[in-house]
Structure 1
Amino acid sequence: MTPETNTMHLPKQYLIAKQPVSALSGWRSIEYLGWCLSLAKEVPLITVEDLDGNLVGRIIGWVIWQGKLLQDGDVIQSTNQTDGVAVEYDAFCGRFVYLYALHQQLAAITDAGGMMSLVYSAELDAAAATPAALQMIQELEFDQITFDALTAGAPKKWLPFGVTPYHGVARLLPNHRLTLRDWRVERIYPYPVSASDRNINVKDSVDSIHPSTPYSSAAPIDGSDIDNVTGMIAGWVKQNIAALVHAGHNVAHLTGGVDSRMILAASRDLCDQMRFQTVSADDVGTRLDNHIAGRIARKFGLNYSTVQFQQPTDEEVHAWRQRTGHCVEDAVTQLCTTARMHNNHCHEMTGTCGEALKSPYWYPGDENLATLTTQGLLRRFEFPENDVTTRLAEAWIAEFPAVISAGNLLDLAYIELRLGCWAGPSMFGHDIPFPSISPFNSARYYRAILSVSEKVRAQGDLIPAVYRHLWPELLDTPFNRATGLAKLLFLSEEIRRMLPVEFKDQIKRIRSALHARKTRSSQRAQV
């Protein structure tokens, strides 16, 4: 254990190694397939058995399945397995890492959105939740060159493409499988096949081009019936929220946006048991959130309160960065003190993953865009453009079938690069034992969205359709916008929303470049 790790608290984390290590206080260790699984005391371990009672898998983390939030020691009885993975995986919601035997060797996949991350080092012969946990084995060497190339001095950053800021340490992306014997990573969804092998039209749904585990045994979804698809999504989210509430986890954050309000919509039948909160801070965006959320709360009689933002100290921000392995830093980082001081001691519900319904990185006309260039990908996600990021983006795009369209590629990028590389490591930043849980995050949820034609997705029809299944009256209040004379209080937000998305992204790139230049100038001055 390194001196830095020895002084740290690593809640919600785990370590997988060949030999047990001198773990942090309160951690426990379990052997599985010749590997030692070391878990922080609050991390559940779920067992997966076949119908004969044989052990066929272990799940580290928090799983919602069949209307229940599973507890430590619970057993999932799987009716069948495909390449070692329980066919039930398609319906698993939550934040977890799934371990199982593949050709009698340990293999790992993350939850569908990579909301509980896994990083690994072939040199250390180990995997873990974060680089911070790997440092219980040996101190890691920071890769400043790669870190600078991927962040360019930006104040808000996350490291995409499975990269970490440490030499020899990589992140397992969603839709990929890791075999720990040889540290080989393979894409398992969508499977990379050529058009000559499978007669794939560029406008096919992604659901038609994946023959590989863990999705190959899942029932196909007919994306042409929008009412049926959105009805299924509404039902899944509603069931997952009920599972959390019935287990005593009844707190949800409410903002002015689409995703958090959809949690409210899906909890309609349980509103009398729910508690809704909005962070209160002195900035325009947060004030608008409070204005809209407060208005909705009054209109529908919600149990609602505001939580006062607490400014973190430099030491607390530094500890947050350490716990996440310096892999992400943004507005969530600044909430570290607020989360600790207003700890609800439960899994708070988050709208993260809900925005997959609105294809968040599309530009108008993308449904007609046949291919996505490397530059196009980097610019949509506001990643710096340089030799390092270009090489990484090219390698990531090359994993997909050559005929995959730009829209489908962007939606998969949201899952793998945004959720897997931002939401996943962010989970470990706050020094609290319960992670937030998204009731959206499951493989079938993403498959349902990707089964819908790009033309329909581009029209933005999915979100209102889901609301109509759950609580249509919530659509009467505009998202992220004040109404009437209250608009005068939020003129800057009104103007911002009027700008085309391409123009807003261009402004962001310019501001980011200026900030990076200022940072470099400051560093040179210090030298």
Structure 2
Amino acid sequence: MTSIPSLQNQDTVEYGFPEKTNFDALDRMTPLPVQELFRQWLLTPHREYIPESWDQYFYEGWHLGAHPQTHVCRLHCSEGHFIGWIFQPQLYLREGQAVFPEEMINLPVRGQPSSQDVERILFGRTATGTSMSEEGFEGMWIGVIFGRDGKKPFRRVYPGPTHSVLFSPSAEVVATSHNLIPDAARDIEISRAFDLPARQRFYSFGLTAFKGVQRLLPNHYLDLDSFNAVRHWPTHPFEQFEHGATGAERIVEHSRRLLWGLSKRYSSYKIFLSAGRDSRAIAAIARPLLHEDRFDFRLNTTYGSDLGSRVDLQASIQLARIMRLPHDVTKRVIRKVPRLAILKGFVRIGEAVSGPSLASAATSGQGAAFSGLNLAGMAGEAGRAFYWAGRDSDKPVGVEEVNKCVGAPVVESTVLAAERWLAELPAWLRDSPPDVFDLLYVEQRLGCWEAPVRYLYTGTPHTASLMASGFNIETMLRLPYAYRKSGRLQHDMIAHSWPELLSVPFNEPRGFLRFVALQERARNQLRALRRALRSAIR
């Protein structure tokens, strides 16, 4: 087994990801010191679980402890009464106007909110679960609500549309990582099956590496009285648009509404530009702000020696000329990352996911040199059949297929978890395979893979994922199936908002790079032929 390196003796430091995971070594690192759990928090009825050095809150028997960097906003009804907390809200839309939640915000609801009120004030949804464009919280947030349905009070935890959080029914704790859950014992069987961080994958379907600890997925709330997770969305079939381009235009207009709201606080922006669809769509969304004197927009492209990076560089240079914006080009430098730093980051995020972000965080930190807002293209895959582009749209969805999509090992625990996830879907949704796969993308890839990574970095997050808005995600789920499968969403978003950017093909090598691509394809085909011949000879 691989041992934890010591940074005291630089001659014996091990670098990079381990070939095989040493779970004993990970357990010796756990829990990390609470001061290293940046922006994390826990909610529990047990006061003794709260770190003394953290900010502390209390309401109706529930203790909340939050790292000093955590943005905790108190929620009040229109009459001024306390109704809950929300963590890390980026923006609140009220009648289409952007409000920045600070220490407290009054929401448009009288008294304790009902379940239906919660859908409206948190998510901006109507009684039928349809998202409105003029109300609700934006960003990677999690809310705690003390409400009432008639005479029956409730206490619930609601992750935002792409966020998630851990909970332990036996310990009675809701927390951002296992570091804050007392006596979180490793489930060695499932840990070995996933083999993180040696293998670059993520825990899916609410599973974790620890006994009795579960992940609360997007579109679910946690009932704090029973500590049961309950799906609360979607509730009604998605009403598809007649034309996919209608959805593309809605996403552009809503994203611009969000960007205009953010512009009240931020004047500097960075767009990470590549040859792909999402980053170009974000640039097109930002077009109305790009050349206003009060804003500073910069494009950034990082490239390496591989063909994909060279295609990114080629396309981004051409696009920057069309946009007439400053373009920072950075050559990717391969750094030796101490394994200890990778493992500490892995433990910090609850051992939820392993991948390049662990190494990136260990070498680059938060990127403190830029204090503006990074505009990311996350979540666009939900509108272009990411998991089902090559399959029959009418074929029923099975457990084996959804497990394969998320890259989970085939063991009893993953099979049962996938079965539960499918079984809890509304019957009308299970009968719509494309919707099942796109919801799978939102709840697993975004909720289990992307969300935990947000706790890797120190300081205040400076990233906005405009496409990941709940309104935009629902809009993508309302696109016609054939349109999603065609992959035209980002194309039509750009055609609507900046058609000149379509003159540069997506992810396509041009000029000399086309010849390089043909050479590489020929070499790959030759390797595949050799492997097939060796296999036939054996």
- Smaller-chain TM-score bracket: 0.7 to 0.9
- Tell me, in whole angstroms, the C-alpha distance in 1 between the residues paired with 2:177 and 2:326: 36
Matches for 1:254-293 after TM superposition, within 5 Å? 254-272=273-291, 273-293=296-316
Deviates more, 1:272-281 or 1:400-409: 272-281
The unaligned stretches of length 5 or more in structure 1 are 192-204, 209-221, 500-506, 511-527
Contact 2:383 2:477 in 1 (8 A): no
Q: Which residue among 180, 186, 189 is the counterpart of 2:224?
A: 180
Distance change in 2, residues 1:285/1:154 (3 Å): farther
Deviations 1:176-209 (A, max 9, x none): 1101122011111234xxxxxxxxxxxxx8326x
Distance change in 2, residues 1:366/1:189 (3 Å): farther
Counterpart position of 1:383 = 408
Deviations 1:273-310 (A, max 9, x none): 22222234444433433332233223322222134446
Contact 1:18 1:35 in 2 (8 A): yes
- Tell me, in whole angstroms, the C-alpha distance in 2 between the residues paired with 1:7 and 1:30: 17
Counterpart position of 1:55 = 82
Matches for 1:106-505 after TM superposition, within 5 Å? 106-114=155-163, 117-134=164-181, 138-151=182-195, 155-191=199-235, 206-207=237-238, 223-248=241-266, 250-272=269-291, 273-307=296-330, 308-309=332-333, 311=335, 312-340=337-365, 342-343=367-368, 344-367=370-393, 369-403=394-428, 404-434=431-461, 436-491=463-518
Distance change in 2, residues 1:295/1:53 (3 Å): same
The DSSP-based 3-state class of the residue aligned with 2:238 is: helix
Deviation at 1:413, TM superposition (A): 0.2
- Tell me, in whole angstroms, the C-alpha distance in 1 between the residues paired with 2:208 and 2:462: 21
Counterpart position of 1:44 = 71
- Tell me, in whole angstroms, the C-alpha distance in 2 between the residues paired with 1:23 and 1:454: 48
- Tell me, in whole angstroms, the C-alpha distance in 2 between the residues paired with 1:324 and 1:414: 20
- Tell me, in whole angstroms, the C-alpha distance in 1 between the residues paired with 2:160 and 2:519: 38
Distance change in 2, residues 1:281/1:16 (3 Å): farther
Q: In the alignment, residue 229 of structure 1 is paired with which amino acid?
A: G
Distance change in 2, residues 1:301/1:26 (3 Å): farther
Q: Which residue among 29, 33, 57 is the counterpart of 2:56?
A: 29
Q: Which residue among 98, 102, 121 is the counterpart of 1:72?
A: 102
The DSSP-based 3-state class of the residue aligned with 1:95 is: coil
Contact 1:253 1:349 in 2 (8 A): yes
Matches for 1:83-102 after TM superposition, within 5 Å? 83=115, 84-85=117-118, 87-88=120-121, 89-90=123-124, 91-102=136-147
Deviates more, 1:413-422 or 1:426-435: 426-435
The DSSP-based 3-state class of the residue aligned with 1:458 is: helix
The DSSP-based 3-state class of the residue aligned with 2:222 is: strand
Deviations 1:453-509 (A, max 9, x none): 32232233322222222212222212222222222344477789x99xxxxxxx9xx
Distance change in 2, residues 1:109/1:8 (3 Å): same
Deviation at 1:254, TM superposition (A): 1.9
The DSSP-based 3-state class of the residue aligned with 2:456 is: coil
- Tell me, in whole angstroms, the C-alpha distance in 2 between the residues paired with 1:299 and 1:165: 48
Distance change in 2, residues 1:25/1:432 (3 Å): farther
Contact 1:111 1:442 in 2 (8 A): no
Contact 2:382 2:441 in 1 (8 A): yes
Distance change in 2, residues 1:69/1:441 (3 Å): farther
- Tell me, in whole angstroms, the C-alpha distance in 2 between the residues paired with 1:357 and 1:339: 31
- Tell me, in whole angstroms, the C-alpha distance in 1 between the residues paired with 2:36 and 2:99: 26
Counterpart position of 2:16 = none
- Tell me, in whole angstroms, the C-alpha distance in 2 between the residues paired with 1:494 and 1:238: 40
Distance change in 2, residues 1:495/1:23 (3 Å): farther
Deviations 1:282-340 (A, max 9, x none): 44433433332233223322222134446222122112101111110112222113431
Deviation at 1:121, TM superposition (A): 0.9
- Tell me, in whole angstroms, the C-alpha distance in 2 between the residues paired with 1:3 and 1:376: 34
Distance change in 2, residues 1:461/1:295 (3 Å): closer
- Tell me, in whole angstroms, the C-alpha distance in 2 between the residues paired with 1:492 and 1:98: 52
Distance change in 2, residues 1:395/1:495 (3 Å): farther
Length-normalised TM-score, structure 2: 0.79
Q: In the alignment, residue 77 of structure 1 is paired with which amino acid?
A: L
Distance change in 2, residues 1:73/1:351 (3 Å): same
Contact 2:167 2:174 in 1 (8 A): yes
The DSSP-based 3-state class of the residue aligned with 1:322 is: helix
Deviates more, 1:240-249 or 1:394-403: 240-249
- Tell me, in whole angstroms, the C-alpha distance in 1 between the residues paired with 2:339 and 2:198: 18
Tell me the C-alpha RMSD between the 2 structures.
3.0
Contact 1:57 1:101 in 2 (8 A): yes
The DSSP-based 3-state class of the residue aligned with 1:463 is: helix
Deviations 1:100-136 (A, max 9, x none): 124433201111112xx310111221111122233xx
Deviations 1:6-39 (A, max 9, x none): 2761112111122345766863122234312222
Contact 1:48 1:75 in 2 (8 A): yes
Counterpart position of 1:519 = none
The unaligned stretches of length 5 or more in structure 2 are 1-28, 125-135, 532-538
Distance change in 2, residues 1:58/1:414 (3 Å): same
